[in-house]
Amino acid sequence: MATSKEEFEARLQEFVGLEIGAPEVGADLVNEPMIRHWCEVMEDRNPVYTDPAAAKDSVHGGIVAPPTMLQTWILDGFDMATPEKQPMNKQRELHAVFNEQGYTGVVATNCDQSYDRYLTPGEQVSGTTVIETISEEKATAIGIGYFIETRTTFRNQDGEQVGWMVFRVLKFKPSAQPAAAPAGDDGAPAAPVRLRAPRTHDNGWWWNKIDEGELHIQKCGECGVLRHPPRPMCGECRSIEWTSIISTGKGVINSYVIMHHPPIPGYGFPIACALIDLEEGTRIISNVVGCDLDEVHIGMKVSLSIENVDDEMKLPLFKPAQ
Amino acid sequence: MPTTLKNEAAIVGVGQTEYSKNSGRSEVQLACEATKAAIMDAGIAPSDVDGMVTFTLDTTDDIEIARAVGIGELTFFSRTPHGGGAAVGIVHQAAMAVATGAAKYVVCYRALNGRSGQRYSEGVSGNIVTSDLIHWSYYMPFGLMTPASWVALITQRYMHETGSKPEDLAQVCITQRDHAVKNPAAFFYQKPLSLDDYMNARMIVDPLRLYDCCQETDGASAVIVTTPERARDLDAGSAVIRGIAQGAGSEQEVMTSFYRDSISEIREMDVVARECYRVSGLGPDDIDAAIVYDAFSSIVLMQLESFGFCKTGEAKDFVQDGNVGLGGRLPINTHGGQLSEAYIHGVNGVIEGVRLIRGDSINQPPKSDHVLVTAGIGVPTSGMILGKPD
């Protein structure tokens, strides 16, 4: 269905200000067993939540619920995981409008909560949710999309406001990410992989040779000097003519680091990155594999092993020389 | 016309925002606040300003700042590339402008939401859409993709060649922290660092631990540059630029100059040191205090050698012998530096250099007739020597 962006955005704005449906009422009253389960899982050992005697002596005068439990009192339970069991409401209608236009992805981005007071056992919580804002189209790292903000106001059985929550999600068109592997057949997100080397005019050929299983070193077509990383002109004689040789892959570690933090997905930190003096006289950055990290040292002799690091990418890696 | 920049320009005003982890406002606003503060400190009117310089990495537009602050016509505007290497480079641009008459009063500023906005610690990614693509392709697939990792690689080699130990890097961190402990503007105000704290902190990229790495900060810093003649007519104290230079070494890359004969040499700063001394006619013995760019602790050691305060490989002894503390031969980073005050890409250090000359640093040493200020290394960089007005 072809819909102009203006029509689409106008349709989105019709949802702004709407309550998504009837108030969601908690299936259980605020109760001590659920408070205890929560505190166990969260490892929150504050006795005012679980120890009647300590709670009685506290400013609360009795057991209270952790404020951060606020939303849990109105959650659906296991039905949440079964979309077909979910009744249609304005929020799901809005998501359907997005889905029709290809904005099929959804990711929660922010949640702000405010608590007016502590809840006590026996209270019944309900929540009224309003679609508060829908942003302009935004370009994000995971794709273009729109931020939707909903505001839920929580009340007790007497209609007294006990807190609120603003929840923000991004509905987005998943972009084709060259660095991300496709999702599996089961729809589960695939494991992150290493960033691809961007290939352009001056470096693409070198990576293509890696794909073919060869480590090349650029060689000036005039004076014969070797150079790495590849670049279009010889710094010695300024010739733009060049060829390349295949490296023997024998080298010595000039310096190295062990990467710990931040733990960039797809690399399996900690790993060793090294600057290697190749016997041809040029240097290359690579990883040292095939030994314990604490064995890596300056002066270590290493040899090339071009290996697949995932289904698609080959890298020139180095192992301790035999 | 001047034939060098010796005594041709002076810094007459400094301004800054608070330094925080979440400014809660735009980088444009931060730049405006710091610029306004620098103009007021100099005692000039916004309409006196006719030049503006910032970093190429700065997201703000100079003319937006000019409009917001009420600066009128501009006759000079420029930007300096290569990240923290621009810290003094922006002053260099301004000095050339005022010395040649291209402008009378130039604002040099840097504003960033470095913690709540884009964080440099996250490193490079495949999303870059510039010619940098080619450059980073040789590092990204191997995971060598953060500033800490690039500096760690040259640090490992430097430590190997000089015998420097983690305790030597710690000495830099602890000395600077001692300075920050007394500085209310510093993130680490009243928070001292012990050797145990340093050693027990987590590894970021071995051999660099957490406290070897600078902070990420929201904030802005700005200074006003004019001629020494105009500076004499102002009430604000000035710092005269005795010598100033930019420098790139041979075989220079941005953060990955791994293909030089020796990767433990910072040739770009050797160029800057040579030029600063040549222009000023001064030498290491004339320098009383220094603001040494400290994105990472190890590069402080390397720069002490570049500027000849000690012999190559002996910076570890220089710092361990107490030379860089407040009572020492060469107090460094008296504001706490970027390790312990704030990371405003070195421009907060330019401000501290001016304070040292004016005599109003929170950690004022007894003698500060000449103060060195340096910029980032591993990138094309810059430095200057400040002195007192005649």
| B residues 256-275 closer than 8 Å to A (CB) | 256, 258-259, 263
- At residue A2 the predicted structure's pLDDT band, cuts being 50, 70 and 90, is low
Does the structure show a pLDDT above 90 at B329?
yes
DSSP string, A71-135: GGGG--GGGGG-GGGSPP-HHHHHHHHHHHTT--EEEEEEEEEEESS-B-TT---EEEEEEEEE-
pLDDT tens for each residue of B207-248: 999 999 999 999 999 999 999 999 999 999 999 999 999 999
Cα–Cα dist B374/B303, whole Å: 9
Quote the pLDDT of residue B125. 63
> B27-42 and B62-69 are packed helices; what angle lies between their axes, rounded to 10 degrees?
60
Kindly state whether A269 is in contact with chain B, defined as any CB-CB distance less than 8 angstroms: yes
Decide if B5 is inside a domain: no
Kindly state whether A226 is in contact with chain B, defined as any CB-CB distance less than 8 angstroms: no
Q: Which residue has the higher pLDDT, A96 or A217?
A: A217
Quote the minimal CA–CA distance from A255 to chain B in Å: 5
Cα–Cα dist B243/B279, whole Å: 5
Kindly state whether B127 is in contact with chain A, defined as any CB-CB distance less than 8 angstroms: yes
- Report how many Cβ contacts below 8 Å link chain A to chain B: 112
Nearest to B39 by CA among B225, B299, B205, B194: B225
The closest CB to that of A273, out of B121, B149, B204, belongs to: B149
Kindly state whether A130 is in contact with chain B, defined as any CB-CB distance less than 8 angstroms: no
Q: Can you read off the two tokens belonging to residue A125?
A: 């919580």
Mean pLDDT on A156-164: 95
Question: What residue ranges do the domains of chain A occupy?
Answer: 5-30+65-172, 204-320
Quote the pLDDT of residue A189. 54
What is the average pLDDT value for chain A, to the nearest integer?
90
CA dihedral (B375, B377, B381, B384) in degrees, to 10, reads: 40
What's the burial of B153, exposed, middle or buried (CB within 10 Å: 0-12/13-18/19+)? Answer: buried
Does the bond joining A265 to the residue before it have cis omega, within 30 degrees of 0? no
Quote the minimal CA–CA distance from A122 to chain B in Å: 40
pLDDT tens for each residue of B81-114: 998 999 999 999 999 999 999 999 999 999 999 9
Decide if B128 is inside a domain: no
- At residue A202 the predicted structure's pLDDT band, cuts being 50, 70 and 90, is confident
What is the average pLDDT value for chain B, to the nearest integer?
95
- At residue A192 the predicted structure's pLDDT band, cuts being 50, 70 and 90, is confident
Quote the minimal CA–CA distance from A288 to chain B in Å: 10
Does the structure show a pLDDT above 70 at A187?
no
Quote the pLDDT of residue A322. 83
Q: Hey, are the CB atoms on B205 and A315 less than 8 Å from each other? A: no
The closest CB to that of A196, out of B126, B128, B144, belongs to: B126
Does the structure show a pLDDT above 80 at A180?
no
Q: Which residues of B touch A255 (CB under 8 A)?
A: 153-154, 156-157, 160, 263
Q: Which residues of B touch A287 (CB under 8 A)?
A: 142-143
Q: Hey, are the CB atoms on B206 and A260 less than 8 Å from each other? A: yes
Does the structure show a pLDDT above 90 at B170?
yes
Does the structure show a pLDDT above 50 at A109?
yes
> A90-100 and A5-13 are packed helices; what angle lies between their axes, rounded to 10 degrees?
170
Quote the minimal CA–CA distance from B155 to chain A in Å: 9
Q: Identify whether the C-beta of residue B245 lies closer than 8 Å to the C-beta of residue B60.
A: no
Catalytic residues of B: 293, 343
Kindly state whether A175 is in contact with chain B, defined as any CB-CB distance less than 8 angstroms: no
Kindly state whether A232 is in contact with chain B, defined as any CB-CB distance less than 8 angstroms: no
Q: Hey, are the CB atoms on A229 and B142 less than 8 Å from each other? A: no
Q: Which residues of A touch B125 (CB under 8 A)?
A: 179, 195
Q: Which of A261, A271, A293, A297 to mutate to test the interface with B (most CBs of B within 10 A)?
A: A261
Cα–Cα dist B247/B306, whole Å: 12
- At residue B128 the predicted structure's pLDDT band, cuts being 50, 70 and 90, is very low
Q: Identify whether the C-beta of residue A76 lies closer than 8 Å to the C-beta of residue A91.
A: no
Decide if B166 is inside a domain: no
Decide if B304 is inside a domain: yes
Mean pLDDT on B159-183: 98
Least confidently predicted of A64-68, A259-263, B1-5, B191-195: B1-5
Q: Which of B142, B257, B296 to mutate to test the interface with A (most CBs of A within 10 A)?
A: B142
Mean pLDDT on B173-185: 98
Decide if B241 is inside a domain: yes
The closest CB to that of B126, out of A198, A257, A269, belongs to: A198
Mean pLDDT on A225-250: 92
Instruction: Reduce the secondary structure of chain B to three states and give it as a string.
Output: CCCCCCCCCEEEEEEECCCECCCCCCHHHHHHHHHHHHHHHHCCCHHHCCEEEEECCCCCCHHHHHHHHCCCCCCEEEEECCHHHHCCHHHHHHHHHHHHCCCCCEEEEEEEECCCCCCHHHCCCCCCCCCHHHHHHCCHHHCCCCHHHHHHHHHHHHHHHHCCCHHHHHHHHHHHHHHHCCCCCCCCCCCCCCHHHHHHCCEEEECEEHHHECCCCEEEEEEEEECHHHHHCCCCCCEEEEEEEEECCCCCCCCCCCCCCCCCCCHHHHHHHHHHHHHHCCCHHHCCEEECCCCEHHHHHHHHHHCCCCCCCCHHHHHHCCCCCCCCCCCECCCCHHHHCCCCCCHHHHHHHHHHHHCCCCCCCCCCCEEEEECCCCCCEEEEEEECCC
Decide if B298 is inside a domain: yes
Does the structure show a pLDDT above 70 at A185?
no
CATH: 3.10.129.10, 3.40.50.2300, 3.30.530.20, 3.90.1110.10. Which one for A5-30+65-172? 3.10.129.10
Does the bond joining A67 to the residue before it have cis omega, within 30 degrees of 0? no
Cα–Cα dist A313/A196, whole Å: 8
Kindly state whether B204 is in contact with chain A, defined as any CB-CB distance less than 8 angstroms: yes
Complex ipTM, two decimals? 0.85
Kindly state whether B163 is in contact with chain A, defined as any CB-CB distance less than 8 angstroms: no
Quote the pLDDT of residue B132. 66
Quote the pLDDT of residue B131. 58
Q: How many CB atoms lie within 10 A of CB B151?
A: 26
Q: Which range of residues forms the domain containing residue B342? A: 10-117+215-387
Mean pLDDT on B358-377: 97
Percentage of residues in chain B having pLDDT higher than 70: 97
Decide if B253 is inside a domain: yes
Does the structure show a pLDDT above 80 at B124?
no
The CATH number for B319's domain is: 3.40.47.10
Cross-strand pairs, B221: B16, B110
Give chain B's domain count. Answer: 1
Quote the pLDDT of residue A160. 95
Mean pLDDT on A144-173: 94
Cα–Cα dist A257/A274, whole Å: 6
Chain B residue with minimum CA distance to A266: B143
Nearest to B93 by CA among B350, B352, B387, B368: B350
Kindly state whether B367 is in contact with chain A, defined as any CB-CB distance less than 8 angstroms: no
Sequence-distant (≥ 6) Cβ neighbours of residue A95 within 8 angstroms:
A106, A171
Q: Which of B124, B134, B203, B211 to mutate to test the interface with A (most CBs of A within 10 A)?
A: B134
DSSP A184: P
Percentage of residues in chain A having pLDDT higher than 90: 69
Q: Which residues of B touch A141 (CB under 8 A)?
A: 127
Quote the pLDDT of residue A176. 57
The closest CB to that of A286, out of B142, B153, B204, belongs to: B142
Does the structure show a pLDDT above 80 at A244?
yes
Q: Which residue has the higher pLDDT, A235 or A201?
A: A235
DSSP A188: P
The closest CB to that of B141, out of A194, A255, A256, belongs to: A194
- At residue A137 the predicted structure's pLDDT band, cuts being 50, 70 and 90, is confident
Q: How many CB atoms lie within 10 A of CB B375?
A: 37
Three-state SS at A169? strand
Decide if B138 is inside a domain: no
Does the structure show a pLDDT above 60 at A201?
yes
Does the structure show a pLDDT above 90 at B76?
yes
